[in-house]
A and B are shown apart, each in its own frame.
Chain A
């Protein structure tokens, strides 16, 4: 038996967009153990809830993540609305669904680009980000922000979209679809991509379940959990099926995200068809008294927001469980037994968002 050596991976590493540190215990080129450590970008956002009033705190809650920001604000708002028993207008629910799906598309395209970059496919990376720019343009035109939308508020949404703009958005997405098909077909069919991803980092269905994998990491291993099926916002009125892949390797997780782009386009199309006329917000008076936890499907998986209020303008407790935090135990299992050269791809395949995980 050869000697074991420990190789530090991160917090600064070319493939990592955010700082996570992994101590890789190696025997020759094979990883036998992994010790993850986080804590490089902790900001203490949850403590801030005691100092800010709950309607304004939503802008802080949104900044937990720089990519899935919209879903954070949406989940926080739903939490407060549930405690205060606020009926959100239906149009606002549909608009929230549309923006959620836009933010999912922009996150997945970002990830597909970074994933291609991780395996050294620069051309594919540039192409994915070129397409993402169209999504960001639509987000900016409708909300005013490219990645931090700031459009969700307790009791509804702050901006309405005109019917003309909605039609234009759907047309834009339909126009984008051939380009997206070209992009995803490279991920599905290209020999170099398949060679790099197939059979690498296999997460068995049982492991994914017991270790609490969420989102595309779980769906790539054959577990059909998708929180959108619980019907929050307007998802209850939309027909869609969660994308599930059975292989459980990096290729499967990549395929889930690539196919979800088209599910998102379909959901946005259905929303635009069904969206009713009416107000987009209701007036909110008083303060939340009670506790609740809301769950939602982020691009990376399930996010849980827990809120406790005592009838004052400042909340008592806010706790967030983000998908990356939940996906770290499956990541450790994935890395055990892999080759050192595969570590970057496996780490990227769970879509790590460390800013989210540490808050």
Chain B
């Protein structure tokens, strides 16, 4: 049993640099794998709703008719499931943590491109006529 067991560490700490970062002034430590928040490239989204189905917290809502993609930051647990499942790779994981919310909300709604339309085939007289008949 001794009385100055901590002294060695204290002296070491006195003469070494602080272990903490002055956070807002200096950026936080991040790694390439860090899961910060989900971002979307609206031009690539085909509203397939895979991300909505895989989301364990139901944070994502995709409206196919309105062509919108919506994420609720308050529900999202940043598990990376949606990013893994996205067929067009329009979802990406940003390494920066989202800014803390100061009020209820945090819902981000984005209008997306939607499914790619097939190139309209140049109408020929023969093909157009039967279609009209059906109607």
Contact = CB atoms under 8 A, between A and B. Distances in A.
Interface in A108-142: 123-124, 127, 130, 133, 137, 140-142
Interface stretch (B65-73, B77-85, B116-124): B77-85
Interface of A: 52, 56-57, 59-60, 63, 123-124, 127, 130, 133, 137, 140-145, 148, 150, 158-159, 182-183, 185-186, 189-192, 194
Contact of A144 (B2, B5, B35, B81): B35
B5 A59 contact: no
A140 B56 contact: no
Contacts of A141: 31, 33
Q: Which 6 A-B pairs have the closest CB atoms?
A: A144-B33, A190-B5, A56-B56, A59-B79, A141-B31, A144-B35
A357 to B, nearest CB: 21
A158 B57 CA distance: 19
18 contacts: A59-B56, A59-B79, A60-B56, A123-B6, A123-B9, A127-B13, A140-B33, A140-B34, A142-B33, A144-B31, A148-B77, A150-B78, A150-B79, A158-B80, A182-B9, A190-B3, A190-B6, A191-B1
A194 B31 CA distance: 40
A142 B13 CA distance: 28
B2 A190 contact: yes
Contacts of A140: 29, 31, 33-34
B2 to A, nearest CB: 6
A56 B55 contact: yes
A177 B134 CA distance: 80
A339 B47 CA distance: 64
B10 interface: yes
Interface of B: 1-3, 5-6, 8-10, 13, 19, 29, 31, 33-35, 54-57, 77-81, 84, 93
Interface of A is mostly: helix
Contacts of B2: 189-191
A144 B19 contact: no
Contact of A59 (B3, B13, B33, B77): B77
Nearest to B36: A144
Given A59-B56, A59-B79, A194-B1, A159 B33 contact: yes
Contacts of B9: 123, 127, 182-183, 186
Given A127-B9, A141-B31, A183-B9, A133 B3 contact: no
Nearest to B55: A56
A162 B15 CA distance: 36
Given A123-B6, A141-B31, A191-B3, 18 more contacts: A59-B81, A124-B6, A130-B19, A133-B19, A145-B35, A145-B78, A148-B77, A150-B35, A150-B78, A158-B80, A158-B84, A182-B8, A182-B9, A185-B5, A186-B5, A191-B2, A191-B5, A194-B1
Contacts of B3: 190-192
Contact of B29 (A137, A148, A150): A137
Contacts of B81: 56, 59
B56 A57 contact: yes
Contacts of A57: 56
A64 to B, nearest CB: 13
A186 B77 contact: no
Contacts of A130: 19
B29 A56 contact: no
Interface hub of B2, B6, B81 (most chain A Cβ within 10 A)? B6
